[in-house]
């Protein structure tokens, strides 16, 4: 929450040759990055002679990499701007934005990343400035992604008049400070950064200064009545996000958690985890890895409302297919992926894998009364295979052959398998999956001798790769089990034919 730029501020911008950047704990901040300057303007009546001497001493302090240097203001440390006298603190940096800008960003992960970096830097700033350090988001500039403090001596709070002049200052007060009590064990600077972190998740209320002060005094700045949060609904359901918000509420709550430097770093780590979990792919994978695939797919559906995306659709389809055994749900998600980006090929390959490799699809299709869905599925498989580049078609020929077999297109499956098993005149006998598809088509067509010949070729090939170690043993076993099932059905077909 910042005061809208008014006529006085615009006049100051023109006279100072800088742009208003936000409310500081003391004074207002203006930036002029082309001149490598940021300015802090404090009303002169707020600064005593002793404080002015401290500011002058800061101009000669040794420079630190985490603090922006305080430099001499060539046009005078005190100036009249827009008919008011200000103490001017001049800082040398070409930073173009502040933490206040970052907290206002629309992308939640970006604003959390910036606040987390400031939180990690806070112990060093406090050691350099003093235990009374309090910084509002505008008091922290960003050099790229690195936060730097625009320092002042640790003066405590400005006057009540100045606090009430800017509601943002009220919002960053501790509850004890709002009631005029000592901070006790609560660190006002860490509390202020905790409020900044919560502003990444919730907006500041639009209350007037008196009502805002009451809310702060009762430590319910972000409490109900509920307002529209700054996170998408799916993101609020993600456990690391929920956890860090609870921890931040404890930090800024009525009692205030006691946080040493180690606790500050742990809080920063928790914010980092929350930031990573704001990526829907990361959040969905985490639920899947935790053994909750159904919740993972539900979260993916919720996230897709806010962030429709090809990779998330693929991941949700994979979980529905592999983990939940719901091929029709997987196909629905893959169809959305195809519509999202028709030029990418991953969804086409996944469609073939689901249609060709999942028996439940064929079982459900067998019960279809009008065959319309079966025809649609067949068209989907053909279209998917046709959209694959030639080199990928050979890789996925087994899935397409399985689709044809499952749909009863035995003659077409036979011709298809024959085509993709041959590279010129060479029979690729090591493609056991496609070889067995070829045998299945012969078996279905009643060409039992041809089916038996394929069986012998596969058996000999498996023996060869088992002896040479040319194929993973698990894969050899998988092909061997399918061959055994094929031989059993071939035997039953021959036995039935002989009895007939």
Apex CA 207: angle with CA 204 and CA 213, to 5°? Answer: 90
CB half-sphere exposure, 119, CA atoms < 13 A: 30
Q: For residue 207, what are its two tokens?
A: 């209350």
Q: Exposed (0-12), middle (13-18) or buried (19+): which is 62, by Cβ within 10 Å? A: exposed
Alpha-carbon distance of 85 to 30, in angstroms, equals 16
Q: For residue 223, what are its two tokens?
A: 């409490």
Apex CA 336: angle with CA 335 and CA 339, to 5°? Answer: 90
pLDDT recorded at residue 406: 83
pLDDT recorded at residue 358: 62
| Separation in Å, CA 383 to CA 353, 389, 400 | 13, 12, 11
What is the three-class DSSP state of 381?
helix
pLDDT recorded at residue 378: 84
pTM: 0.84
Burial 200-227 (b: 16+ CB within 10 A, else e): bbbebbebeeeebbebbbebebbeeeee
DSSP state of 134: -
Beta bridge partners, 88, equal 41
Cis amide prior to 225 (ω within 30 degrees): yes
pLDDT recorded at residue 4: 47
Alpha-carbon distance of 275 to 272, in angstroms, equals 5
H helices of 42-107, in order, are 49-58, 99-103
Alpha-carbon distance of 250 to 198, in angstroms, equals 11
pLDDT recorded at residue 495: 82
pLDDT recorded at residue 75: 81
Residues in the chain, pLDDT under 70: 1-5, 224-228, 256-259, 358-371, 497-500
Long-range contact pairs involving 423-432 (C-beta distance under 8 Å, separation at least 24): 429/457, 429/458, 429/461, 430/461, 430/465, 430/470, 430/471, 431/397, 431/398, 432/458, 432/461, 432/462, 432/479, 432/483
First-residue to last-residue Cα distance in the chain: 88
How far does CA 416 lie from the centroid of its chain? 43
């Amino acid at each position: 929450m910042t005061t809208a730029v008014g006529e006085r501020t615009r006049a100051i911008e023109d006279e100072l040759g800088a742009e208003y950047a936000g409310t500081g704990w003391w004074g207002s901040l203006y930036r002029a990055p082309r001149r490598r300057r940021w300015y802090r303007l404090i009303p002169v009546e707020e600064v005593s002679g002793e404080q002015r001497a401290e500011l002058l001493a800061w101009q000669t302090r040794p420079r630190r990499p985490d603090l922006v240097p305080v430099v001499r203001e060539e046009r005078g440390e005190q100036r009249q701007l827009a008919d008011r006298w200000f103490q001017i603190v001049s800082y040398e940096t070409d930073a173009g934005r502040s933490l206040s800008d970052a907290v206002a960003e629309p992308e939640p992960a970006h604003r959390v990343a910036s606040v987390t970096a400031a939180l990690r830097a806070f112990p060093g700033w406090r050691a350099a400035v003093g235990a009374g350090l309090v910084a509002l988001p505008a008091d922290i500039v960003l050099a790229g992604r690195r936060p730097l403090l625009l320092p002042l001596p640790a003066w405590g709070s400005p006057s009540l008049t100045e606090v009430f002049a800017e509601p943002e200052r009220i919002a960053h007060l501790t509850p004890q400070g709002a009631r005029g009590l000592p901070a006790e064990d609560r660190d006002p600077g860490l509390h202020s950064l905790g409020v900044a972190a919560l502003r990444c998740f919730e907006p500041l209320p639009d209350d007037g200064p008196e009502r805002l002060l009451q809310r702060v005094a009762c430590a319910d700045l972000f409490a109900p009545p509920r307002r529209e949060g700054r996170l998408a609904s799916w993101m609020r359901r993600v456990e690391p996000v929920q956890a860090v918000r609870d921890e931040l509420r404890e930090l800024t709550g009525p009692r205030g958690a006691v946080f040493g430097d180690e606790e500050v770093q742990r809080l920063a780590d928790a914010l980092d985890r929350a930031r990573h979990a704001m990526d829907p792919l990361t959040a969905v994978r985490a639920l899947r890895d935790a053994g909750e695939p159904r919740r993972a797919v539900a979260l993916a559906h919720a996230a897709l409302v806010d962030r429709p995306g090809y990779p998330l659709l693929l991941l949700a389809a994979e979980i529905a297919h592999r983990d939940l055994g719901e091929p029709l749900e997987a196909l629905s998600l893959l169809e959305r992926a195809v519509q999202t980006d028709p030029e990418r090929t991953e969804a086409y390959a996944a469609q073939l894998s689901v249609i060709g490799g999942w028996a439940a699809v064929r079982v459900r299709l067998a019960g279809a009364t009008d065959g319309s869905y079966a025809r649609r599925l067949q068209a989907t498989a053909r279209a998917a295979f046709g959209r694959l580049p030639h080199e990928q078609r050979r890789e996925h020929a087994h899935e397409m052959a399985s689709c044809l077999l499952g749909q009863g297109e035995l003659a077409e499956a036979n011709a298809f398998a024959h085509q993709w098993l041959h590279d010129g005149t060479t029979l690729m006998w090591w493609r056991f999956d496609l070889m067995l598809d070829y045998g299945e088509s012969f078996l279905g067509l009643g060409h039992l001798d041809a089916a038996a010949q394929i069986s012998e070729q596969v058996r000999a090939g498996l023996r060869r790769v088992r002896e040479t170690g040319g194929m993973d043993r698990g894969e050899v076993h998988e092909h061997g089990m399918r061959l055994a099932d094929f031989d059993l059905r071939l035997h039953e077909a021959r036995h039935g034919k002989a009895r007939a």
